Amino acid sequence: MTEVDRLLAGNESYVSGTRARPDNAEPARRLAVLTCMDTRIDPLAALGLGVGEAHVLRNAGGRVTDDVLRSLALSVHVLGVRTVVVMQHTRCGLAHVTNDDLHVRTGANIDFYPIADHAVALRDDVNKLTASEVLNPIGEVAGMLYDVQTGEVKLQLRWRQDV
């Protein structure tokens, strides 16, 4: 049995279960959460959210990249999102490494958006969102740090405007 076989078996259980399957593609909380791909984070559970309530975007580090802007432009302008949360986390694999390290380890000569300091990275990412023409108008943006040991989320910064 391969991993793909296990996934298909898992889906059989999922289909026969009684989970909610919302019919509306628009996030009920008008919310999008960007976070890291780290396996220790369950973004819906960590923030008290359910299926159907928020867009969840994930990448290495939970960083605002061009592709995140692409997705959020659709969240905001097509699917009614008004609040965006960037949630980075403690013990992130992108923290305290450099692009040079990662170029050597991966062989890929690209920007990995490493994080020297979460306060700075979150501020930069929130600024990138609020300055982006493709997201305007957006109501509220927040930067948060998730503690992978305690599960606690700390608000690092927030930005608001009336829309």
- The answer to whether residue 38 forms part of the interface with Zn ion (CB under 5 A) is yes
- The answer to whether residue 86 forms part of the interface with Zn ion (CB under 5 A) is no
- The answer to whether residue 54 forms part of the interface with Zn ion (CB under 5 A) is no
- The answer to whether residue 102 forms part of the interface with Zn ion (CB under 5 A) is no
- Please give the torsion angle defined by the CA atoms of residues 122, 115, 72 and 40, in that order, rounded to the nearest 10 degrees: -100
Size of the site for Zn ion (CB under 5 A): 3
- The answer to whether residue 36 forms part of the interface with Zn ion (CB under 5 A) is yes
Closest CA to 92 of 126, 122, 62: 62
- Smallest separation, CB 40 to Zn ion (Å): 9
- The answer to whether residue 125 forms part of the interface with Zn ion (CB under 5 A) is no
Which residue in this structure is represented by tokens 């013990």? 91
CA angle, corner 81, sides to 80 and 83, nearest 5? 150
Instruction: Give Cα 40 to chain centroid, integer Å.
Output: 13
Contact footprint for Zn ion (CB under 5 A)? 36, 38, 92
